[in-house]
Chains A and B, each alone.
Chain A
Amino acid sequence: MSRVTTDAAPREASAKVEEYVFGGLVAALGVFTLVDAGSIAATRDAVGARAFPYAVGVLLLVTGVAAVVATARGRLGEAEDGEDVDTGVRTDWLTVAKLVALLVAHLVLIDLVGWPVAAAVLFFGAAWALGAVWWEALPIAVVLALVVQVVFASGLGLSLPAGVFEGVPLLDG
């Protein structure tokens, strides 16, 4: 078992394309900053509200272009490692997409059916997507969501929207 590998992780073919896109986006954000800064009205103090945005725009544009150039020269960024990260495996895009979809579902559901349901869906879905057994994850998700709801409603004095549980004692702050 080898550990603390630095450059040994297999580079995926798409990594270089992604790096170009990311560097390009940084540069694009720089251009946007420079253009939009022009619409800020000049103010009466010596520097005004524009100067700093211009400087930030230049920084973004220069570093974005430099990142693209570095990528072209083959100097790719080193992907971050971590205790739970297996740098040797391919990117699991499907799981990432599932988690993003679950977060979107969560924020839509909060206003529709209330926080407890939205939270249970997020926790259950994420645990399941990451490999938990569904019949184990489901009760944990439901209990966790209800406990947090009660703690917020009764303990912290911050009430989360109860949604379908509106009017239920303990759950509706």
Chain B
Amino acid sequence: MGSLTALLEGFATASQPEYLLYALLGVTLGTAVGVLPGIGPAMTVALLLPLTYSLEPTAALIIFAGIYYGGMYGGSTTSILLNTPGESSSIVTALEGNRMARAGRGAAALATAAIGSFVAGTIATVLLTALAPTIADVAVTLGPADYVALMVVAFATVAALLGSSPVRGLASLGVGLFLGLVGTDTLSGQQRFTLGVPTLADGIDVVVVAVGVFAVGEALYVASRLRHGPVEVVPVGGKWFTGEFWRRSWKPWLRGTFIGFPIGTVPAGGADVSTFLSYAAEKKLSRHKDEFGRGAIEGVAGPEAANNAAAAGVLVPLLTLGLPTTATAAVIVAAFQSYGIQPGPLLFTNNSAMVWALIASLYIGNVMLLVLNLPLVKIWVKVLQIPRPYLYAGILLFAALGTYAVNFVVDDLVVLLIIGVVGFFMRRHGYPVAPLVVGLILGPMAEEQVRRTLQISEGDPTALVTSPFAAAAYALLAVALAVAAVLRRRRPRVPTPTG
């Protein structure tokens, strides 16, 4: 029961007024950026990194965790109320939730999304609390070859399993790995790919790359095809606190949670896959099949819960193995590293107080988010209506500011602009940007582990696959890739509603 005591101590830390304020700041910012199109949690965490150097790590990480959870809540508000489809992970919500809103049941759609996210977030955080220390105990015994295997699995799932084009995903990963190589090799001390430019000798800062591909790339891309005219928001109508609401929502919430959490943990495809699976399950089990596609509450409740549970699931490999499987998780790893902390199995022994305060803040943040998103949803509707010229001008300005604030040198802004333009073309041509960020952060770690493995084995490359754990990981990956290849050929398109 050591972890329960530790968790209680974490609560004692996280409920100090100062930390409560940081958590509130985090979840509020997170909801805001989740609501606003064009900015996501990954970019927000990246932008705030330089500004939080003056805070102690626990405070900064509590803010980041709040942003991470908050972004999930805010995104659903946007997809339900805005007349245009949003991020892929919430597109199913857009499908059903937006229908509900237009049919005058917007309040019920928002409520089932918010309460479902709360239920799923809380249950998933309990599962995280229970599982993480155990997994960390196992993870301590893993050798470098096992880590290499885990990273290969992460690379393959992020790059090849997600997204519509495995080739483009892998190309994006390759670019990220390349950017990770630029700089001084830690083992031999020599410069690689710096072209003799002194700024590049220290490597390319993760903040600059993340802000470049997310903020600048996104702003340029949206600018190239901006939807002009006023922002159309569906008015929130109807009552939600009814018997039927609870009767039809609670089972999808629970099912969504237990679909989302394992998928987030594995990592077999992130939030996207979990929402689609949950949607399919609800459609199959529902007694109101005819309502699907025209505003079925189960079609909002399930996927929203799955989405949040998957987000919590992603924290399991992040905290116990140091493996990020989404772009936001990758930026959070960068945040840990900037404080000289390496997330991984030793986190629970070396930084026990901090990690438990972080987990406790997730519980607290979830409660705050429920309050922020249920009674206060009207405020977010206002935020949603910010005129787009100012929104994107602001994104560009803060992208430039966040980058400049890393080192206060103009050279970083040149790198930012170049990476922003690359991000623009990647969006135009269906190259996902998440693998780039994951590759940039995991690449140097993977290289180190490969070299360590081969140092131990005295150059024998079979050492990479002979450990039982690594062999099992590669076998599972092969199965997953094969299944994905089959599914890709048979995957039905998302139904296209008209009207």
Binding site for B on A (CB under 8 A): 1-6, 15, 18-19, 22-23, 26, 29-30, 33, 36-37, 40-41, 43, 45-49, 51-53, 56, 59-60, 63-64, 66-67, 70, 75-87, 89, 91-93, 95-96, 99-100, 102-104, 106-107, 110-111, 115, 119, 122-132, 137, 140-141, 144, 148, 152, 156-158, 160-161
Contact = CB atoms under 8 A, between A and B. Distances in A.
A131 B455 contact: no
A111 B425 CA distance: 29
B425 A18 contact: yes
B187 A49 contact: yes
B290 to A, nearest CB: 20
Nearest to A32: B193
Contacts of B174: 26, 29-30, 56, 59-60, 63
A47 B454 contact: yes
Chain A interface mostly helix, strand, loop or mixed? helix
Interface string B80-104: 0011111100010011000000000
Contacts of B405: 152, 158, 160
B404 interface: yes
A91 B192 contact: no
B192 A53 contact: yes
Contact of A92 (B82, B181, B225): B225
Contacts of B499: 1-2
Contacts of B457: 46
A128 B392 CA distance: 11
Contacts of A86: 225-228
A27 to B, nearest CB: 9
B431 interface: yes
Contact of B427 (A26, A80, A92, A156): A80
Interface in B307-357: none
B274 to A, nearest CB: 19
Interface stretch (B2-10, B216-224, B259-267, B372-380): B216-224
B20 interface: no
Given A18-B429, A59-B174, 7 more contacts: A3-B83, A46-B458, A70-B167, A83-B85, A86-B228, A95-B226, A122-B400
A84 B388 contact: yes
Contacts, number: 269
A132 B455 CA distance: 60
A4 B51 contact: no
Contact of B389 (A19, A110, A130, A160): A130
Contacts of B201: none
B225 A91 contact: yes
B421 A100 contact: yes
Contacts of B78: 83
Nearest to A141: B393
Interface stretch (B132-140, B234-242, B489-497): B489-497
Interface range for B = 35 or more
Nearest to B403: A107
5 contacts: A37-B192, A82-B38, A99-B223, A131-B228, A132-B393
A131 B171 contact: no
Given A2-B498, A47-B450, A76 B429 contact: yes
A75 to B, nearest CB: 8
Given A4-B496, A130-B392, A156-B51, A96 B220 contact: yes
B360 interface: no
Given A4-B497, A59-B170, A82 B185 contact: no
A29 B228 contact: no
A103 B400 contact: yes
Given A4-B94, A126-B396, A144-B397, A79 B389 contact: no
Given A91-B225, A99-B223, A18 B86 contact: no
B143 interface: no
